[in-house]
Structure 1
Amino acid sequence: MSEITFKNTRFDPDLVEFHGIAQQMAKSVGYTADMAVEKQLAQLLRLRVAQMNACSYCLILHTKAAHDQGIHPAKVAHLASWQESTMFDAAEQTALSYCEALTAYDLAGFAPLHEAMTEHFSETEIAEVAAIVINMNLWTRLKLAQGATPVLES
């Protein structure tokens, strides 16, 4: 099978130590971090942010990570239309709504979504969900700015 690599088409983010900052945060809330929030849910949130921000690098990385986490392939493929699905439980739906509001900066709708999170998650888990979404938004915007373009190597 061919490998996918990425080339920067705009700038090298390490010129301003951007990768180092993002990697430091990823140690706490990235896809290999040990957290209180359920690992599969965390991965769905990362992938949803990647979808919303159309980040090729993150879509490829986090689709593979979702499969590696054991998330059913149909659930991964169906994530973009989660609102029209019965594949996601109430806690996942609440977290995905929160994720989307935080990513889209829905200031008016955010407070009730945050309150709804308390029905399913502890204070620590809510903080982790917010950090996961914030971290993914940082990564997606970094990869967009640097022009991380996928290249299929044969």
Structure 2
Amino acid sequence: MQRLNYFQQSSELTKKLMEFGALFQKTTIEAPIRELVEIRASQLYGCAFCVDMHIKMAKIHVERELRLHHVATWRESTLFSPRERAALARTEVLTRLPANGVPDDIFERVRTQYSEKALSDLTFLVGAINTYTWNRLNVAFRMVPGSSDKAFGLDKANLE
């Protein structure tokens, strides 16, 4: 059960977070990869609201359903390109930040798939999903998955 509606209680802060999030649509990271990153980070945080929302967004943007099911097991799946795998590896290492930082092998794998600008944009994206607190807010207040579908236009995903 939802604890409180932070959208209403802190509407100005929520609005600013949404504006910040919208900036990622203008980066070098293409929408399908952005969505995979957001889904994976949300899975790692255990944020049902965000997983639900990002899967619906990906579905609206014509992501294949089987790939959505495979995000959690991307290492074993054959459905992801080297570029997508690099983004997912970067997402995991930055979300679960190891005590010794990002290992060189992961950095090099990502660097072979992305320009310096794109690598910077990708890192900002992963950092944003982890630091601009959507996952933390939604977990803290137990946001109900699907409760904002109409407001975000996610009802168009036709997933029930």
Common fold: TM-score over 0.5: yes
Aligned length: 143
Is structure 2 residue 117 aligned with structure 1 residue 124?
A: yes
- The structure with higher relative contact order (CA 8 Å, sep 6+) is 1
CA distance in 2, matches of 1:105, 1:144: 19
Greater fraction of residues in strand? 1
* In structure 1, distance between residues paired with 2:122 and 2:88: 10
Q: How far off its partner does 1:24 sit?
A: 2.9
**Counterpart check, 1:49 vs 2:44:** no
One-letter amino acid matched to 1:114: F
SS in 2 for 1:149: coil
Structure 1 CA distance, aligned partners of 2:23 and 2:6? 24
> Which of structure 1's runs of 4+ aligned residues deviate more than 4 A?
none
Q: TM-score, normalising length from structure 2? A: 0.78
Cα distance between partner residues in 2 of 1:151 and 1:126: 32
Give unpaired runs (5+ residues) of structure 1.
1-6
Task: Give the match for residue 74 of structure 1.
Answer: 66
Name the structure 2 match of 1:12.
6
How big is the shift at 1:45? Answer: 0.5
Q: Distance in 1 between matches of 2:146 and 2:67?
A: 26
Superposed CA RMSD in Å reads 2.2
CA distance in 2, matches of 1:15, 1:117: 37
Question: Hey, what does 2:141 align to over in structure 1?
Answer: 146
Give 1:52 deviation, angstroms.
0.8
Q: In structure 1, what is the equivalent of residue 56 of structure 2?
A: 64
Between the two proteins, what is the percent identity of the paired residues?
A: 24
2:28 is paired with a residue whose SS is coil
